[in-house]
């Protein structure tokens, strides 16, 4: 790449959890004396599109994980751009430490994802028929906000924390344009996380797929402004 940007490719496809990536990169950079200010991007190997990215700058030094953000098994390239560099030191350390770090990341993140999925299924599918558990009606779905769960007829769909938070915003503001900056702030920045705008597009795309069972629900991109969730039959309660 260049003196301050490095790309790491893998022989095999893998999955990862975004909070694992954030913590692991930060810990390894600090442990090996590499610059703390950096931008990490995860690229799709085939389309070379960014599917996840985040930026760390100081003096803001507390970054919380994007909890529950799971990425499917696929071919990925991890790109790290250092914002303040001593290029000789960075180059030497990258070559000597990141190979082992990435091997560790592969196994640790896969294990965490599998564990998180199992716990999520158990926690989110219990007692949804309990009348004491409240839910929102979004189109034909029952949206259990506290359980991050969508239910339509006999189909249950688990949402990540971010997907659930985004859907709650749309559900509270049906048929209204939600500005991109507001969505980024409510979903990420209020937790101390500053991500690339592309992350919002990816999150919306994932949410669309999980709402696809109800053809009357559409999330449309309003160019230059943000997104709008359109409910054709205006069913929301």
Which tens digits make up the pLDDT trace of 103-128?
Answer: 456 545 544 555 455 445 444 454 55
Does residue 76 have a pLDDT over 90? no
Q: What is the mean pLDDT of residues 27-46?
A: 81
CB 147 within 8 A of CB 200: no
**pLDDT band per the 50, 70, 90 thresholds, residue 63:** very low
The model's confidence at residue 90, banded by pLDDT at 50, 70 and 90, is: low
The residue among 115 and 101 whose pLDDT is bigger is: 101
Query: What's the pLDDT at 68?
Result: 46
**Side-chain-side CA neighbours of residue 97 (13 Å):** 16
pLDDT at 117: 52
Q: Is the distance from CB of 60 to CB of 152 less than 8 angstroms?
A: no
Instruction: Please say whether the beta carbons of 202 and 51 come within 8 A.
Output: yes
pLDDT band at 57 (very low <50, low <70, confident <90, very high): confident
Residues in the chain: 237
State mean pLDDT over 86-100.
56
Q: Give the pLDDT confidence score for residue 147 in this predicted structure.
A: 87
Annotation: CATH topology of 128-231: Arc Repressor Mutant, subunit A (1.10.10)
How far is the C-alpha of 61 from the C-alpha of 72, rounded, in Å?
29
Strongest mean pLDDT among 10-19, 30-39, 136-145: 136-145
The reported pTM is 0.54
Q: Tell me the chain's radius of gyration from C-alpha atoms.
A: 20
List, for residues 134-192, the tens digit of each pLDDT value.
899 999 999 999 889 999 988 899 998 899 999 999 999 999 999 999 999 999 877 66
Tell me what pLDDT residue 39 has. 87
Structure tokens at 19: 């909070």
Q: Is 193 helix (H, G, I), strand (E, B) or coil?
A: coil
More confident site: 230 or 88 = 230
> CB atoms < 10 A from the CB of 54, how many?
22
Nearest to 222 by CA among 159, 176, 191: 176
Percentages helix, strand, coil for the chain (3-state, rounded to 5) are 40, 30, 35
């Amino acid at each position: 790449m260049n003196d301050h940007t490095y790309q790491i490719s893998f022989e095999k496809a893998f999955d990862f959890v975004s909070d694992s990536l954030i913590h692991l990169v930060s810990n390894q950079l600090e442990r090996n004396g590499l610059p703390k200010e950096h931008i990490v991007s995860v690229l799709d190997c085939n389309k070379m599109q960014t599917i996840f990215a985040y930026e760390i700058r100081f003096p803001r030094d507390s970054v919380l994980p994007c909890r529950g953000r799971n990425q499917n098994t696929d071919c990925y390239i991890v790109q790290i751009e250092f914002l303040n560099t001593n290029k000789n030191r960075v180059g030497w350390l990258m070559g000597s430490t990141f190979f082992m770090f990435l091997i560790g990341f592969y196994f640790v993140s896969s294990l965490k994802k599998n564990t998180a999925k199992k716990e999520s299924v158990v926690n989110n599918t219990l007692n949804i028929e309990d009348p004491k558990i409240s839910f929102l009606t979004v189109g034909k779905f029952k949206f259990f906000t506290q359980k991050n769960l969508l239910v339509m007829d006999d189909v249950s769909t688990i949402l990540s924390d971010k997907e659930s938070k985004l859907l709650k915003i749309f559900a509270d503001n049906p048929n209204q344009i939600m500005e991109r900056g507001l969505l980024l702030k409510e979903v990420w920045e209020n937790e101390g996380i500053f991500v690339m705008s592309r992350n919002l597009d990816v999150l919306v795309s994932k949410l669309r797929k999980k709402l696809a069972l109800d053809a009357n629900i559409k999330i449309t991109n309003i160019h230059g402004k943000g997104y709008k969730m359109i409910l054709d039959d205006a069913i929301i309660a």
